[in-house]
A and B are shown apart, each in its own frame.
Chain A
Amino acid sequence: MFRNQYDTDVTTWSPAGRLFQVEYAMEAVKQGSAAIGLRSKTHIVLGCVNKANSELSSHQKKIFKVDDHIGVAIAGLTADGRVLSRYMRNECINYSFTYESPLPVGRLVVQLADKAQVCTQRSWKRPYGVGLLVAGLDESGAHLYYNCPSGNYFEYQAFAIGSRSQAAKTYLERRFESFTDASRDDLVKDALMAIRETLQGETLKSSVCTIAVVGVGEPFHILDQATVQQMIDAFEIVGEQEGPAAAAGQEASAEPEAEQGGAAAGEGVAPMDI
């Protein structure tokens, strides 16, 4: 994506029919540290990589509880994510207060998407620079949605966003068919494996990642470090053997991926259309 004369304002179209400011906002999401989500019929697991600015500082909070049945993981401008989480929490509280029942996830993501769209059509605003993975349980089952700065939202079986998320997506694409009927623990293990893919060589420890679960009979909560470390230890032994083989496979697939990305931008395919 190169700088051009149509990208100063969010309210300026390019001749090719693109809003560059919105696309730049989606770039901000790609720069943030990774967040992944996957779901089965009854549970959804969110995970994220804890990136700290320096060794001295703490890492930023990227997973937020929105309500007992909804949680969100963010990637990108965490400040924007925090503000949107507060909005989501308020919406859930108000809906609960009025209707004495939990806000259906599908409704919440639409409201979120409409809120994001407003920022793409006002000259005095800028798009939110954060991608949200919304995990929620309602009467129609377990759902995982991705909300982007463009105001679009999609439902996923599993997804990853943020930097080096392609590695996680490749892993998830290989395994997603088994997720629908997976047990809760297997789902968490898959989440940890997906996070490990994004770490690319760095050791997976509970201090590097955060995992949260929501499911039938299980309100949204973030797993504590000890539990996560236990699960890592449980499968790490098997994981080490798979490690070298997987790493070799990834390096081969990463290069064509990058080439494809460059070619697409040149041809002028807007990322929002994907």
Chain B
Amino acid sequence: MTKQQANWSPYDNNGGSCVAIAGADYCVIAADTRMSTGYNILTREYSKICKLADKCVMASSGFQADVKALQKQLAARHLIYQHQHNKQMSCPAMAQLLSNTLYYKRFFPYYSFNVLGGLDNEGKGCVFTYDAVGSYEKVGYSSQGSGSTLITPFLDNQLKSPSPLLLSVQDAVTPLVEAEAIDLVKTVFASASERDIYTGDKIEIVVVNATGIRREYMELRKD
């Protein structure tokens, strides 16, 4: 008697990669725009990035149906927060909310690998990285998704402090200027799309800084 295997899965992986880098007064959040299933491409122009609050942006890869549901949940909760507190949620507050929302479904998780970026209350860039059930950490940079195994080592090489004694975890921002960070993101995606079949088509880059939120695009390999 062999154990019965499921003939249907509630999940699917739509692929893609996300990256976020925090700076002293800005945050760059980027994701590719390819949505795939198996070895097929569903669309080349799907946004994985969602603006949750004035200074808080989330990029998620994984199962996009769960991602959409998660984004809607957070948007509704944010509206309630605004009604009650008469102000927008700060990025750290949203980070905790996202963690709680994910853990709420600990036993039927959102198949969503998230990276949250924005400015904290003092205007400093912050990036929070998550697993599917809400474990999170404030970091200076992060990458999630199908290309993360290719992207993270490169970011570590460029940005990781050689020792926590030199740059403490609390300070978690990179020493880069905004333009350098955007350049790094473009480089990193160009490299990832060479070898990861699920990453490509276009990058959507969102920059959050004191003047507001700005969006730009860059073409990637279509194969």
Contact = CB atoms under 8 A, between A and B. Distances in A.
13 contacts: A65-B83, A86-B83, A89-B79, A89-B80, A89-B83, A90-B80, A93-B76, A93-B79, A93-B80, A94-B76, A96-B76, A97-B72, A97-B76
A65 B72 CA distance: 21
Closest 7 CB pairs between A and B? A93-B76, A97-B76, A89-B83, A93-B79, A97-B72, A93-B80, A65-B83
Contacts of A65: 83
Nearest to B79: A93
Interface residues of B, number: 5
Given A93-B76, A96-B76, A97-B72, 10 more contacts: A65-B83, A86-B83, A89-B79, A89-B80, A89-B83, A90-B80, A93-B79, A93-B80, A94-B76, A97-B76
B67 to A, nearest CB: 16
Contacts of B80: 89-90, 93
Contacts of A86: 83
A223 B80 CA distance: 21
Interface in A188-212: none
Nearest to A98: B72
A93 B72 CA distance: 10
The dominant DSSP class at the B interface is helix
Contacts of B76: 93-94, 96-97
Interface in A72-129: 86, 89-90, 93-94, 96-97
A86 B84 CA distance: 9
Contacts, number: 13
A150 to B, nearest CB: 27
Nearest to A92: B79
B84 to A, nearest CB: 9
Contacts of B83: 65, 86, 89
B151 to A, nearest CB: 33
Chain A interface bracket (under 10, 10 to 19, 20 to 34, 35 or more): under 10
A90 B72 CA distance: 14
Q: Is the interface of A mostly helix, strand, loop or mixed?
A: helix
Contacts of A93: 76, 79-80
Nearest to B69: A97
A65 B83 CA distance: 8
A93 B83 CA distance: 11
Contacts of A94: 76
Nearest to B86: A65
Name, among B72, B76, B83, the residue most crowded by chain A CB atoms within 10 Å (CB to CB): B83
Interface string B37-81: 000000000000000000000000000000000001000100110
A96 B72 CA distance: 10
A90 B79 CA distance: 10
A138 B12 CA distance: 38
A93 B76 CA distance: 6
Nearest to A66: B83
Contacts of A96: 76
A89 B78 CA distance: 12
Nearest to A94: B76
Interface string B146-164: 0000000000000000000
A255 to B, nearest CB: 44
A89 B80 CA distance: 8
Contacts of B79: 89, 93
Nearest to A96: B76
A63 to B, nearest CB: 13
B75 to A, nearest CB: 8
A192 to B, nearest CB: 24
A246 B113 CA distance: 67
B49 to A, nearest CB: 19
Nearest to B83: A89
Nearest to B80: A93
A235 to B, nearest CB: 30
Interface string B74-106: 001001100100000000000000000000000
Nearest to A68: B79
B82 to A, nearest CB: 9
Interface in A173-193: none
Interface string B193-206: 00000000000000
Contacts of A90: 80
Nearest to A85: B83
A96 B73 CA distance: 11
B6 to A, nearest CB: 29
A36 to B, nearest CB: 24
A94 B79 CA distance: 11
Nearest to B77: A93
